[in-house]
Amino acid sequence: MPALEAFASLDFSFLKQNAVNGKLKQNAENGKFVQKLSISNFYCFRLAEKEDRSDAFCVNFNIPNDHGGSGLTVLIGENNGGKSTVLRAIELFSGRAPSPHTYTLNAEGQRNDAEIKITAGDGNEFSLKTKTNGDSLEWEKKGELRCVKANKSVTQIFDTVRFMSELMSVILDSPELFPQSAETTRILESIKKALDNVQSPEIGSFFKGVYAYAKIGREFLKNVFNVTLADGCRRIPSDPAVIEEKPHGHAVPVWQTGDGALLGSYLIGTVHKHREDGCRLFLLDEPEQNLHPKAVEALIKELWEISKDTQIILTSHSPVLVEAVCRKAQTALLHGTGGKPEDYFRILSKDAGTGNIQSQPAKPFLLNPVSADEINYCAFDCIRENYFVQLYDILQYRWAQLREKEELRQRGMDEIFNEKGYPSDQTATLKDKETKETIFTYQRNALAHPTNKSRTFKPDKLEWCIAELRKLLSEANSEAVSSAEKSTASSQASRLETGKNTDQNQT
């Protein structure tokens, strides 16, 4: 019972700060993009020790240039790797006050203050410094940005309201479980107080805003989730808006719909609504949460188009989201309207020795179309046997293509490996005869023919094998591109010569 009472006593005062932030954002500068961010001593980011702060964490972001995806940057990294903190640091420049816990303690137990710097796309500098004065926190800020951060916990807020409403009904309808008593009355009063708080102007406007954004994202709802948001978006729980499920046609309160449908449309609606008001900088923290893979792909398709003139910085743990971005990037690269797939990602990782967080580019994506195993390797540093097999087989195809052969057998592969300095130093038995193979072919056959006991797959060699095959495939891809360019140039020259000869004959 005490636990229920404590939960029912929750208020939503933290949302009032959101309403205040919304007003402050209106006074910030529109159209400012973040090109570079540096952080020292802010949450999980360590204190920069050099006097010029050159050792502070630093990350660069993509700036919109009127091409799809140009303003999109995806932050990837392990848990507690600083991704959400990067968004939080940028959001501080939109008017949100820093937390009292923005400082950390050094080895001597002394407090070190936070320092955040932003270089905007137009070259302007923004900075934020905090100073601790006893138990209070003072902060000095230079410059404001107009940005909006879509709250990934919006569905958790709805879950809280749902729970409290249902809990109140259970207590009232189950006298055998909750007999009338001072304790029961106190619980009911606590729940009512929390629900009344939801109905307050500040909090009510927050929920109303969620529905308003979801309404703007109705096309996303309709196309992805096959539901239509009805008119009359109102706040919950007293006067809920409804959605009409298609093709069934029956109405359901919005706050009782699926979390994925609500969150997906809310995210898209949030971006569209504030873009209409002039905002061009959005922060999305793990937008793939609760979304089906098809919905994630649809979300990226929408964000890709929006990022032509809008900067979108998002965090993710989703291979599906990374794949969706890679496929859009590979198409854009083919048409000359975008960079390489790895250009859209920043990998945040901790140094094993110092614990400092670093920003690094993703490893180059070599396969087209990109595979799930390559995504796991390049973006998430997960090593899979399947990726090794893919690299070997594609390299086999590429080398056969470059040597104008219909097929290149493994013996031919090993001959090329030998030419490039990789010895055939692995022994296997084939048809009762010993044969020598390179480590690549040996590993490939050990995976493909597990019943052949003469080969034993070597997991400790897998990472090295993948790294070496990637080098060879990168070289082969470059050679193939060069060969194609020479072929195209030769073909064009031939056509020009043919045209000249035709003109001379006609003359």
Q: How far apart are CA 420 and CA 411, in angstroms?
A: 14
Residue 390's pLDDT band (boundaries 50, 70, 90)? very high
The DSSP secondary-structure symbol of 363 reads P
Task: Check pLDDT > 90 for residue 251.
Answer: no
Q: How far apart are CA 294 and CA 148, in angstroms?
A: 25
The predicted pLDDT at position 232 comes to 40
Q: Residue 43: what pLDDT?
A: 84
> What is the spatial distance between Cα 54 and Cα 61, in angstroms, rounded to a whole number?
18
Six-digit token string for 380: 């998430």
User: What is the pairing mode between strands 104-105 and 72-77?
Assistant: unpaired
Q: Please, what is the average pLDDT of the chain? A: 78
d(CA 288, CA 292): 8
3-state secondary structure of 149: strand
Contact 215, 175 (CB under 8 A): no
- pLDDT over 70 percentage in the chain: 69
Query: Which residue, chain included where needed, has tokens 């990350």?
Result: 59
Q: What is the mean pLDDT of residues 223-241?
A: 46
Confidence of residue 202 (pLDDT cuts 50, 70, 90): very low
Q: Dig out the tokens for 137 from the structure.
A: 């926190």
User: What is the structure's pLDDT at 207?
Assistant: 52
Q: Please, what are the domains in the chain? A: 1-366 (3.40.50.300), 385-470 (no CATH)
CB-count burial class (<10 Å; 0-12, 13-18, 19+) for 323: buried
Residue 3 Cα to chain centre, angstroms: 36
Token readout for 52 is 């010029």
SS3 readout for 487-501: HHHHHHHHHHHHHHH
Higher pLDDT, 226 or 170: 170
Q: Which of 326, 315, 450 is nearest to 389 (CA)?
A: 450
Helices 182-198 and 154-173: angle between axes, nearest 10 degrees: 150
Could you identify the residue written with the tokens 């249902």? 166
Q: Name the pLDDT band for 486 (thresholds 50, 70, 90).
A: low
pLDDT in tens, 27-36: 334 458 999 9
CB atoms within 10 A of CB 20: 14
Q: Which amino acid appears at position 143 of this protein?
A: G
Residue type, position 363, single letter: K
Which helix (H) or strand (E) is 155 found in, with range?
A: helix 154-173
| Of 391, 344, 370, 12, residue with least CA distance to 210 | 12
Range name among 19-23, 133-137, 201-205, 218-222 with the lowest pLDDT average: 19-23
Burial class for 53, CB neighbours closer than 10 Å (0-12, 13-18, 19+): middle
- Note the pLDDT tens digit of each residue in 159-176: 666 666 667 777 777 777
User: What per-residue confidence (pLDDT) applies to 281?
Assistant: 94
User: Which residue's structure tokens are 């020292």?
Assistant: 40
Percent of the chain with pLDDT over 90: 40
Q: Residue 483 is encoded by which pair of tokens?
A: 């060969």
Beta strand segments in 121-178, E? 125-133, 136-142, 148-150
Q: Which residue has the higher pLDDT, 291 or 321?
A: 321
Look at residue 199 and tell me whether its pLDDT is greater than 70: no
Residue 476 near residue 395, CB atoms below 8 Å: yes
Which of 110, 112, 87, 88 is closest to 98 using CA atoms?
88
Between 466 and 51, residue with greater pLDDT? 466
Q: How far apart are CA 67 and CA 367, in angstroms?
A: 23
Among 76-85, 210-219, 415-424, 477-486, the minimum mean pLDDT is found in 210-219
C-alpha triplet 6, 7, 9: angle, nearest 5°: 65
Give the pLDDT score at 9. Answer: 41
Which of left, alpha, beta for 45 (phi over 0: left; psi -120 to 50: alpha)?
beta
DSSP state of 178: S
CA distance 12 to 90: 24
Q: Which long-range contacts (CB under 8 A, 24 or more apart) does 51-55 make?
A: 53/115, 53/117, 55/356
